[in-house]
Amino acid sequence: MTSELIRQMIVQNNYPVLNESMLDEFLDDNDYTVLFFTEDPKQYPESNDVAIILPELSACFAGRFQVAVIDREAEHRLHRRFPFDSWPALVLMRRGEYLGAITRVQNWTDYLREIERLLNAPALHLRDLGIPVVAQSLASSQ
């Protein structure tokens, strides 16, 4: 369930709400995007704060990115595609490539600095993230 504040943000700013079947097309259609992962605002009340801040950030960056909200029903499935470690999260993408994420509520200047950095950062290769697991047989280790 989402909050009334998040619903108002979506309606007032005409932000699309995306699920798995809509995400890739949205990413392909826009050079830069910010995906808002809200989680349950009752459990993560900072989501309401980000809902107030996000339209202001979008205005401050004057159309440099398009904003979409990730559908609550799809959030956990889509979270598997994007490495972030806490909620709420703003995931920045360039032409479908992952640039990074900003989680929780930040100071205004930190948002401005981090968004600018991410918009100019090289894309991260998601398949390269994480710790590789290497199996070794007992016979070869003796």
Q: What is the pLDDT of residue 93?
A: 98
φ, ψ of residue 47 to 5 degrees: the values are -60, -35
Looking at residue 7, its pLDDT comes to 98
Query: Position 125: which residue type?
Result: H
Helix (H) or strand (E) holding 26: helix 20-29
* Cis status of the peptide bond prior to 88, with omega within 30 of 0: yes
Q: Which residues of the chain have pLDDT under 70?
A: 127-142
CATH class of 4-128: alpha beta
What is the predicted pLDDT for the residue at 83?
86
CA dihedral 23, 28, 33, 39 (to 10 degrees): 10
Q: What pLDDT, on a 0 to 100 scale, did the predictor assign at position 111?
A: 98
Cα 63 to chain center, whole Å?
17
Q: Are 41 and 48 in contact (CB under 8 A)?
A: yes
Interatomic CA distance for residues 91 and 118, integer angstroms: 10
Please choose, from the candidates 119, 53, 117, 58, the residue with its C-alpha nearest in 3D space to the C-alpha of residue 88: 53
Note whether 5 and 48 are within 8 A (CB).
yes
According to DSSP, the β-strands at 66-70 and 17-18 are parallel
pLDDT at 112: 98
